[in-house]
Structure 1
Amino acid sequence: MFDCIDWVNLPTFFSMLVARSTIAPVLAAATETEPEAESSVVLAGVLLSLVAIYFASKIGGEICARINLPPVLGDLVGGVVVGISALNLLVFPDSGALGSDSLIMSILQSTSSLTPEALQVTFEAQSEVISVLSELGVVILLFEIGLESELSELIKYGPQAAIVAVVGVVLPFTLGTMGLIAFFGVATIPAIFAGAALTATSIGITAKVLAEIGRLSSKEGQIIIGAAVLDDVLGIIILAVVASLVKTGEIEVMNIIYLTISAGAFLVGTIVLGRLLGPYFVALVKELKTRGPLLISALIFAFLLSYVAAAIQLEAILGAFAAGLVLGETEIQEELEKQVIPISDMLVPIFFVVVGARTDLAVLDPTVPSNRAGLAIAAFLIVVAIVGKVVTGFTVFGQPDIKRLGIGVGMIPRGEVGLVFAGVGAASGVLSDSLQAAVIVMVILTTFIAPPWLRIVFNDSDRLETVQEE
């Protein structure tokens, strides 16, 4: 048996053997000590987060309802309280927070044997789950809004909505970009990015308020929803253009053309095909015998369109809204709307609370020197953001008895859409600390000021109409 051994290379053989015997345990130990998130602990963190979210939503909503403010504003305020600005119950890694900064993670660590490394991995996994649930919540919200909207009314007021959307994009973008360059000496590309953040409109927040005050199906509500949908499409195109400008220093014309064509084709094609195939969908649902045929079939349709929208570089919420519009034109609309409400009640609050929780009010502290320049820019951006959208209501034509101020106010909130712009700008490094803080402050205040103002505008108009009738 010793004949097979190469005696000349025997020292090399032994050195390799020793090396393997030394390295193997080290590699095994490294593999064994690699931190991994335990599914049971992640689930526990998600459950605690949901407890905090629902508690904040209910308490905030009840307080706002009792002082005649929209409950959705309570969701946002509750999110701020449990978020990074106050209790640190709900914080996210993308804000720079660590697992040790989360009160929920501290509770988990005290009740389990989590190492600091495993704590961070668990924190990231738990935050990702909550973020996904939040995105799912806004998808359900837009699907519900589509169900409640009347396609015929949207088409009827389409020209007015288009004018409102275009003016609401062009005016704030132009004023914001030129003002930042002229008055504050901001460089061109950061100024363009901040100006682009002014173009967004949060359809979710405005639509929720309109639904709460019974104005979603009104002429004003349909114009606002239609304009906000077009705002989303235009905002996506602008974001793609600005992001391309930041990365390459030049605008990719083909990308702009692709996004424009795909957005138009998707919206128009979905509505046309949906109206043709709607009766077949209803017939199929009636033939199903298992539990929940209508709701499950509708969710499949909504999620499929949301995926298609996301796959062609549009927003998933546009697909959900289109699905709601299509199914809202069928005979199952009322029954489906009733069945979607419990799903909406469970998921939609997660979205609004998370938006509030991600808001860091520390950027409003004027005692910090680095915040002062941002606050000055923020004041300018807030004025442009409000004026640039309020003016849009007065561009509506052919509707002498319409509440133009209500339309303009309904276009004010930036909400999650504005936060997307701020997040992309921060990730790309194009925004300075002061300019990033200014954009965040603008998003916060426009999001918080619009719901109560919108309710005041419509309530005052209703009281005036009642007096005139009497």
Structure 2
Amino acid sequence: MDILNSILTFIDYNFYISLFATIPEHVDTDTDTSLVLSSILLSLVIIYFASKLGGEICARIDLPPVLGELVGGVTIGISILGLLVFPEGMNTANNSLIMRFLQFSADVTPENIQTIFNSQGEIISILSELGVIILLFEIGLESNLKELISVGPQSVMVAIVGVVAPFVLGTLGLTYLFHVDIIPSIFAGAALTATSIGITAKVLAELGHLSSQEGQIIIGAAVLDDILGIIVLAVVASLIKTGQVEIFNIAYLSLSAAIFLIGAIFIGRLLHPVYVKLVNKMKTRGQLLLISLCFAFVLSYIAQIIHLETILGSFAAGLVLAETEKRKELQDVIAPISDIFVPIFFVCVGAKTDLSVLNPTDPNNREGLILAGFLILVAIIGKIISGFTIIGQPELNKLAIGVGMIPRGEVGLVFVGVGSASGILSKPIEASIIVMVIFTTFLAPLLLRSILKEPFLATQKQKIT
């Protein structure tokens, strides 16, 4: 949700702040705090159970485990069981089985249970964000900065085409084929530009293709896509608010993104000797892990305050530390931390997915489903053609590169949140964007599994032998 926090600076809406109300005077604060903790512990038990069950099932039928985590999230979320529900939209404590169980077992008043529900949702969302920060830090550690630089031109081309093609096709198609007003069309087209780097990176890692040339191009392009997505969202947000594009905001975001990434990598490389020396001199347990996480969190904080994504900071930190002699040791110690926090992110993405918009028997959904069919087609084609913009290099799996850019995931949901808050989107348009996000998020892991059948490392060993 860090993109949303950044963009709200431009569009000046207060709904996100008012979502979490102050605790009423008559509430017993000590009791309320203990019950919030209880609800979080119950939520984590359910999240871990759903992630492991879903992941194990998918692993045993030769599907990416991350898909199982997403499905597990959908199962326990608002769409099916209603165990893990977040205070977004019209959801209240009554929609959450955890809250109803807590109210029944602890005899909590309706006023208190709503406060607990709001607090629980906020804290779980923060843990989810921490999960994706750690995921991108781990992905940075597994990436190779020199290889990323070597595939830089290809990544830039893939990212630009992957943003421009779906945006233009989506906007023009909605305007001229479906006669949607221009500003909602532009917004829907902008939502098509997103790429979920977290989902794609996890799938590539599970398939053993993260260090392949295709994997490095996808990761580089996805990082650039995040930056371009922030800029596009800022432009559309200012267009919604003022009716005109604020050039200063575009220039500021573009410049700050370039300075941040280049500066973080350059300064980080200069500090390599200091980092290694500090870790080696410390005698307490966990020094490598904590010093490294501090570095990642500082870069994430800097990225956040200059209106970029926190994950760009953690990814840059991983890239920098991957060039030190502590890389392998750090990968080993970060893995258990990743196992704790990363599943929260993927399960929460699934839990926030509302499948009710897919119900064709509801007349209110039918127009949205028709529009969604068009958006899904554009979302897939627009990203796939980006992989084929790389000229030459016939050895590259260009289809895999394009497919790797397809999932919209949590990034697409942020677009929906901003559009919904602005009031610019009609119900059919909003539903169509949600359906597009759902479909692309679940489709990409399946397609990548079928396209990238053989792990990259295994292929390299066969070539050597």
How far apart are the structure 1 equivalents of 2:115 and 2:270? Answer: 48
Aligned residues of 2:231 and 2:250 also touching (Cα < 8 A): yes
What's the CA shift string for 1:102-144, capped at 9, x where partnerless? 0000111111121001010010001111000000000000000
C-alpha RMSD of matched pairs (Å):
1.7
Counterpart residue number, 1:89: 83
Alpha-carbon distance, 1:76 to partner: 0.3
Counterpart residue number, 2:247: 253
How far apart are the structure 2 equivalents of 1:153 and 1:430? Answer: 43
User: Which of 46, 51, 73 is matched with 1:52 structurally?
Assistant: 46
Counterpart residue number, 1:302: 296
How far apart are the structure 1 equivalents of 2:244 and 2:129? Answer: 31
Q: For the structure 1 residues 155 and 325, does the alpha-carbon distance in structure 2 shift closer, same or farther, using more than 3 Å as the test?
A: same
Alpha-carbon distance, 1:199 to partner: 0.4
Aligned residues of 1:35 and 1:121 also touching (Cα < 8 A): no
What's the CA shift string for 1:126-177, capped at 9, x where partnerless? 1111000000000000000000000000000000000000000000000000
Deviating beyond 3 angstroms after TM superposition, the runs of 4 or more aligned structure 1 residues are: 34-37
SS of 2:388's partner is helix
Asked whether 1:264 is paired with 2:258, we answer: yes
Counterpart residue number, 1:33: 26
Tell me whether 314-323 or 271-280 shows the greater mean CA deviation: 271-280
Asked whether 1:354 is paired with 2:348, we answer: yes
How far apart are the structure 1 equivalents of 2:106 and 2:418? Answer: 36
Counterpart residue number, 1:405: 399
Aligned residues of 1:95 and 1:358 also touching (Cα < 8 A): no
Q: 2:343 corresponds to which letter in structure 1?
A: P
Alpha-carbon distance, 1:398 to partner: 4.0
Counterpart residue number, 2:6: none
Matches within 5 A, 1:157-176: 157-176=151-170
Asked whether 1:312 is paired with 2:312, we answer: no
Please give the TM-score of this superposition, normalised by the length of structure 1: 0.91
Asked whether 1:430 is paired with 2:408, we answer: no
Counterpart residue number, 1:227: 221
- In structure 2, the gaps of 5 or more residues are 1-22
How far apart are the structure 1 equivalents of 2:410 and 2:272? Answer: 32
Counterpart residue number, 2:203: 209
Matches within 5 A, 1:70-109: 70-109=64-103
Alpha-carbon distance, 1:33 to partner: 2.6
Asked whether 1:155 is paired with 2:143, we answer: no
How far apart are the structure 2 equivalents of 1:461 and 1:333? Answer: 22
How far apart are the structure 1 equivalents of 2:318 and 2:220? Answer: 14
Alpha-carbon distance, 1:415 to partner: 0.6
Alpha-carbon distance, 1:34 to partner: 5.2
Q: For the structure 1 residues 322 and 175, does the alpha-carbon distance in structure 2 shift closer, same or farther, using more than 3 Å as the test?
A: same
Counterpart residue number, 2:181: 187
Asked whether 1:327 is paired with 2:321, we answer: yes
Asked whether 1:388 is paired with 2:363, we answer: no
How far apart are the structure 1 equivalents of 2:153 and 2:225? Answer: 14
- In structure 1, the gaps of 5 or more residues are 1-29
SS of 1:93's partner is coil
Aligned residues of 1:35 and 1:117 also touching (Cα < 8 A): no
How far apart are the structure 2 equivalents of 1:460 and 1:359? Answer: 31
How far apart are the structure 1 equivalents of 2:53 and 2:408? Answer: 24
Aligned residues of 2:299 and 2:313 also touching (Cα < 8 A): yes
SS of 2:452's partner is helix
Counterpart residue number, 1:64: 58
How far apart are the structure 2 equivalents of 1:322 and 1:275? Answer: 11
Asked whether 1:292 is paired with 2:286, we answer: yes
Aligned residues of 2:140 and 2:316 also touching (Cα < 8 A): yes
Counterpart residue number, 2:5: none
Alpha-carbon distance, 1:184 to partner: 1.1
Alpha-carbon distance, 1:211 to partner: 0.4
SS of 1:89's partner is coil
Counterpart residue number, 2:17: none
Q: For the structure 1 residues 31 and 338, does the alpha-carbon distance in structure 2 shift closer, same or farther, using more than 3 Å as the test?
A: closer
How far apart are the structure 1 equivalents of 2:204 and 2:425? Answer: 34
Q: For the structure 1 residues 435 and 292, does the alpha-carbon distance in structure 2 shift closer, same or farther, using more than 3 Å as the test?
A: same
Q: 2:88 corresponds to which letter in structure 1?
A: D
User: Which of 139, 143, 146 is matched with 1:145 structurally?
Assistant: 139
User: Which of 235, 238, 243 is matched with 1:241 structurally?
Assistant: 235
Q: For the structure 1 residues 318 and 269, does the alpha-carbon distance in structure 2 shift closer, same or farther, using more than 3 Å as the test?
A: same
How far apart are the structure 1 equivalents of 2:299 and 2:84? Answer: 31
Counterpart residue number, 1:27: none
Q: 1:33 corresponds to which letter in structure 2?
A: H
How far apart are the structure 1 equivalents of 2:454 and 2:69? Answer: 25
What's the CA shift string for 1:252-284, capped at 9, x where partnerless? 110110000000000011111111111211111
How far apart are the structure 2 equivalents of 1:461 and 1:31? Answer: 56
What's the CA shift string for 1:217-250, capped at 9, x where partnerless? 0000000000000000000011111111111111
SS of 1:459's partner is coil
User: Which of 278, 285, 297 is matched with 2:272 structurally?
Assistant: 278
Counterpart residue number, 2:37: 43
Alpha-carbon distance, 1:95 to partner: 3.1
Q: For the structure 1 residues 184 and 63, does the alpha-carbon distance in structure 2 shift closer, same or farther, using more than 3 Å as the test?
A: same
How far apart are the structure 1 equivalents of 2:336 and 2:132? Answer: 14
Aligned residues of 2:208 and 2:455 also touching (Cα < 8 A): no
Alpha-carbon distance, 1:67 to partner: 0.6
Counterpart residue number, 1:127: 121
Asked whether 1:452 is paired with 2:441, we answer: no
User: Which of 322, 330, 334 is matched with 1:340 structurally?
Assistant: 334
SS of 1:95's partner is coil
How far apart are the structure 1 equivalents of 2:442 and 2:339? Answer: 21
Please give the TM-score of this superposition, normalised by the length of structure 2: 0.92
